[in-house]
Amino acid sequence: MKRILQIGYDAAQLRSIRELLKSGQYNVLTVRGNTVAARLSLSNQKFSLVIIGQTDESWMRRAMVGWLKSEKPATPVMALNSDPTESVPQADYNCVMDESNNWLSAVGQACLAGAV
């Protein structure tokens, strides 16, 4: 089973995304906030994909993606964005949150490429 680390900032949105991913047979570890995510990323745990939620400030999301790519370069990172004009340049995948069919498809592609 593919493991996904979900980093988010809004509890209701985290639950919603986690349930969607679990229904797709993914093993999902959900953390709220960048500090917990950073500690977890530095552990020996491996993930097939890291998903960054849309509700934090864009500069904070960009910083987290940059940090993840420097610490775990082999692990794909997906940024969920609020609209199609928004993106996080260092993310491997940029998807619009409200287009769940599209980003769920991208999750499948990313997990095929991911480490675990």
Q: Are 36 and 9 in contact (CB under 8 A)?
A: no
Distances (CA, A) of 96 to 7, 22, 34, 102, 109: 16, 19, 21, 8, 16
For the chain, the structural domain boundaries read 3-113
Element (H or E) spanning 7, and its range? strand 3-8
How far is 27 from 88, CA to CA, in rounded Å? 25
| Rounded average pLDDT over 87-110 | 89
Domain 3-113: which topology? Rossmann fold (3.40.50)
Q: What is the pLDDT of residue 58?
A: 82
Average pLDDT, the chain: 85
- Tens digit of pLDDT for each residue in 36-45? 666 666 677 7
Per-residue pLDDT at 42: 61
Alpha-carbon span 42 to 96, nearest angstrom: 28
Compute, in degrees rounded to 10, the torsion defined by CA atoms 100, 98, 65, 48: -10
pLDDT tops 60 at residue 8: yes
pLDDT of amino acid 79 = 94
- Strand 93-96's sheet: what is its strand order? 27-32, 3-8, 49-52, 77-81, 93-96
At 81, give phi and psi (nearest 5°): -115, 155
Helix, strand, coil percent values for the chain (each to nearest 5): 45, 20, 35
Q: Output the pLDDT for position 116.
A: 56
pLDDT tens digits, one per residue of 23-69: 988 999 888 877 766 666 667 778 899 999 877 778 888 988 998 89
